[in-house]
Amino acid sequence: MNSSFVRLALSALVLFSPVTVSRAGPSIPEPGTALAVAGPDGRGGYDVGVGIALPEGWHTYWRSPGDSGVPPVFDWSASENVAAFEVAWPAPGRYFDGFGTSVVYDGDVTLPVRVVPADPAAPVRLAVRLNYGYCKDICVPATAEFSADLDPAAPRDEAAAATIAAARASVPVPEAEAAPDAPRLVALEVAGEGRDARATVTLAAADAERVDLFVEGPDGWYLSPPERVSAGDGRAVFAVALDGRPKKAALSGAVLRFTIADGARSVEALRSLP
């Protein structure tokens, strides 16, 4: 998350777009949205950042929203000379509404994006539609549209680049690239059978009370956010219910993606279930 995104975007080179909100009215505030364009990234692509400034007390969702919610969905099919639109996801938080736990962003969030052109020598016409939801006491669907002309010869916009870099600092890194003091997954065990199967995950972390864990399965799996079992002495233990998988999906050998959320030291790890 980057709390300075929209404030900085107002003074930097930013393209703003209105948000279309169903049931919008005096009692439903609208988020602000912005596209920051840093320019060429020196690797044949472009750095941009999609920002959402949420009203106080409201939240939007991570790529895997948890027990409820709608993940942000990007449509860049109207763009020209774009081969890939690579969204990076800062480490999220969790929100319990009294019934279930969602995986969310609140406040202001920036989603860094790398735009990869089909022809790096030619300009890019970027046209993106974002569909997302934001919630408080109710949930509201919203749409934002952004456009930008990206030129390989354009200079870098340092203000926009700083905004995007700050957001990338909270994107989990692969465990092989993590700093020595970053949290790490040290044990994964599975007990039970069928719909009663549960995984127990042990993390090593300097601040075991603060570190959090989110788990994603293969396509078609829907896993609830893990429950914290214990924390202390540099270890945090979480339980993961494995009942949200397709009926005939095997447990053994299934690869899960573990996002270990710890601010700028967040880590992503892949593990196969035993």
pLDDT in tens, the chain (274 residues): 443 333 333 333 333 333 333 455 557 899 999 999 999 999 999 999 999 999 999 999 999 999 999 999 999 999 999 999 999 999 999 999 988 999 999 999 999 999 999 999 999 999 999 999 999 988 999 999 999 999 999 999 999 999 999 999 999 999 999 999 999 999 999 999 888 999 999 999 999 999 999 999 999 999 999 999 999 999 999 999 999 999 889 999 999 999 999 988 999 999 999 9
Query: Which residue reads 């829907």 in tokens?
Result: 222
Same domain, yes or no: 153 and 75: yes
Q: Residue 164 is part of which domain span?
A: 5-171
Write the DSSP symbol of residue 212. Answer: E
User: Is the pTM for the entire model greater than 0.85?
Assistant: yes
Evaluate whether 207 touches 236 at the Cβ level (below 8 Å): no
Same domain, yes or no: 166 and 82: yes
| Number of Cα atoms under 13 Å in the Cβ half of residue 239 | 10
Domain boundary among 171, 199, 217: 171
Domain count, the chain: 2
Same domain, yes or no: 234 and 208: yes
Q: CATH number for the domain including 210?
A: 2.60.40.10
Q: Per this entry, what is the length of the chain?
A: 274
Domain boundary among 171, 198, 215: 171
Same domain, yes or no: 161 and 185: no
Same domain, yes or no: 67 and 82: yes
CA dist 163 and 250 (Å) reads: 43
Tokens of 69: 């919610």
Same domain, yes or no: 59 and 164: yes
Same domain, yes or no: 185 and 240: yes
Task: Tell the burial category of 111 from Cβ atoms under 10 Å away from its Cβ (0-12, 13-18, 19+).
Answer: buried
Evaluate whether 126 touches 81 at the Cβ level (below 8 Å): no
Same domain, yes or no: 155 and 205: no
| CA-wise closest residue to 12 among 110, 122, 127, 131 | 110
Tokens of 124: 């890019």
Same domain, yes or no: 31 and 113: yes
Q: CATH number for the domain including 39?
A: 2.60.40.1250
